[in-house]
Amino acid sequence: MDLKFNKNEDHNKLLLSELKQRIAKAKLGGGKARIEKQHAQGKMTARERIDFLLDKDKRSIEIGTLAGGGMYEGHGGCPSGGVVVKIGYVSEKQCIVVANDATVKAGAWFPITGKKNLRAQEIAIENRLPIIYLVDSAGVYLPMQDEIFPDKEHFGRIFRNNAIMSSMGITQIAAVMGSCVAGGAYLPIMSDEALIVDKTGSIFLAGSYLVKAAIGEDIDNETLGGATTHCEISGVTDYKAKDDSDALRTIKKIMDKIGDFDRAGYNRASPSKPKENPDDIYGLLPHSRTEQYDMLEIIRRLVDNSEFEQYKEGYGKTILTGYGRIEGWSVGIVANQRKVVKTKKGEMQFGGVIYSDSADKATRFIANCNQKKIPLVFLQDVTGFMVGSKSEQGGIIKDGAKMVNAVSNSVVPKFTVVIGNSYGAGNYAMCGKAYDPRLIVSWPSAELAVMSGNSAAKVLLQIEKASLKKKGETITAEKEKALFKKVKDRYDEQVSPYYGAARLWTDAIIDPLDTRKWISMGIEAANHAPITKDFNLGVLQV
């Protein structure tokens, strides 16, 4: 291997090391002391409960591990958004599990907690996956109630989703393993079946202190809403468990009896590993986000047998389109080519930029995949659409709109991997979060923003200088340098993949070598939900 490869490899492995450290810290939740306190109460932690529940010999993926990172520091922080979400298998059935982390503010709901819970339900709804709730929460975090309580995508939407999923026949099971108070008390009761752990689980609309204040009644929490009350008097819950492990074993038994699901019927052959070494990805991916590289070499390390059948190989070369398999699943891949390419007319096109011919090719390929019922995988490393008079006169806006239209109306499941840049309208055309990918992940090398920090700083500098010129003033070299640095530093923080992951713009930041697993498990989940509508581009200026 050459020196450049080795430098790239060192850089990307350092990024991976940072990722692993951040994930390890997030998994500690509220910290070791609070974990020990939970154990002293005879309770497992959220992660221990999920690990106990999921089949040991099966894989799992975690959604939003880094959610909440760097947010709410004035409130003590909210690692992993105060809730753990995993897609895995229980009694050999794929499902999604949501567990409140009581080590983080007693499991209270921050705004990001609500967003993450809604994301879990969205995944369940889109893929018709069974969903299991492991409840242990003090309810809404009151100092921020205005950001979690009343709006459409806030706390109340969760119960609306409970009702919608029930009408869709999606299995919902809830185990109350700690506090379950106020509005949150509706979640387990709106599930198909509800369990409660004796002595540690409790459900009530108002706790004993509030009952005393409201109506003057003296009562303890256990009598008010404990396991005996709800299993033997109110009938609110269906099963009483003696401890956490007993509750989780009961869930396994319930899941074991569930019938099979209707399949979407996506094509799958026997899985094969790539012939090209996936470890090479670390050396192929350049240190700088502005450097050129051949995306085709990345694809060959992601697909089975390293076989990728290109569609329109000689046309629209700044987007690669073609067919392959990932762990046996047939996929259509749309990827930004990151090296400078030459057209048949002898023109040079910049890598990572979407030109009219590339957008046209991608649109037609997306339509083909919808026609053939082939899931789509988008590999993003895009700086945007080509600009300038030639592109505008050539109809770049129209061609870009066609591609965005095709992505928007696609009915096959879509999966997005942000490998490098994800800037501006390129993010949209390449199936960014706003375009409903079933799963969207980024590599540690990713950047997400309207534009790069360098470009943003230059644009804002031009605006500032023009404003001063109108006033008859000039900007000094020193002031220009300071303003440029201020803007660039702010943008550099915001383009970080960790900034996006904290806000759930992506479902996870992953090791590139885990990409195949994420896509494979994602398609397996999508196979639970047959396609119920036709692909239709609607009205479009052709």
Q: Output the tens digit of pLDDT for each of the chain's 542 residues.
A: 589 999 999 999 999 999 999 999 999 999 999 999 999 999 999 999 999 999 999 999 999 999 999 999 999 999 999 999 999 999 999 999 999 999 999 999 999 999 999 999 999 999 999 999 999 998 888 889 988 888 888 989 999 999 999 999 999 999 999 999 876 788 888 999 999 999 999 998 877 888 888 898 888 888 888 999 999 999 999 999 999 999 999 999 999 999 999 999 999 999 999 999 999 999 999 999 889 999 999 999 999 999 999 999 999 999 999 999 999 999 999 999 999 988 878 788 988 999 999 999 999 999 999 999 999 999 999 999 988 888 777 778 889 999 999 999 999 999 999 999 999 999 999 999 999 999 999 999 999 988 777 777 788 778 877 887 788 877 788 888 887 888 788 888 889 999 999 999 999 999 999 999 999 999 999 999 999 999 988 766 55
Number of C-beta neighbours around residue 440 at 10 A: 26
Q: What is the pLDDT of residue 221?
A: 85
- The model carries a pTM of 0.94
What are 98's strand-pairing partners?
85, 133
Contact 221, 230 (CB under 8 A): no
Report residue 2 as tokens: 């050459």
End-to-end, the C-alpha distance of the chain in Å comes to 48
Q: What is the pLDDT of residue 122?
A: 98
Backbone phi and psi for residue 440, each to the nearest 5 degrees, phi listed first: -135, 125
DSSP symbol at 145: G
* Measured distance CA(127)–CA(372) in Å, rounded: 19
DSSP secondary structure of 245-275: HHHHHHHHHHHHTPPP-------B------S
* Measured distance CA(103)–CA(118) in Å, rounded: 21
Q: What is the pLDDT of residue 353?
A: 94
Q: What is the pLDDT of residue 234?
A: 92
Residues 6+ apart with CB under 8 A from 308: 296, 299, 300, 322, 323, 324, 333
Q: What is the pLDDT of residue 7?
A: 96
* Measured distance CA(297)–CA(301) in Å, rounded: 7
Backbone phi and psi for residue 91, each to the nearest 5 degrees, phi listed first: 50, 40
Q: What is the pLDDT of residue 393?
A: 75
Report residue 146 as tokens: 């205005």
* Measured distance CA(522)–CA(123) in Å, rounded: 10
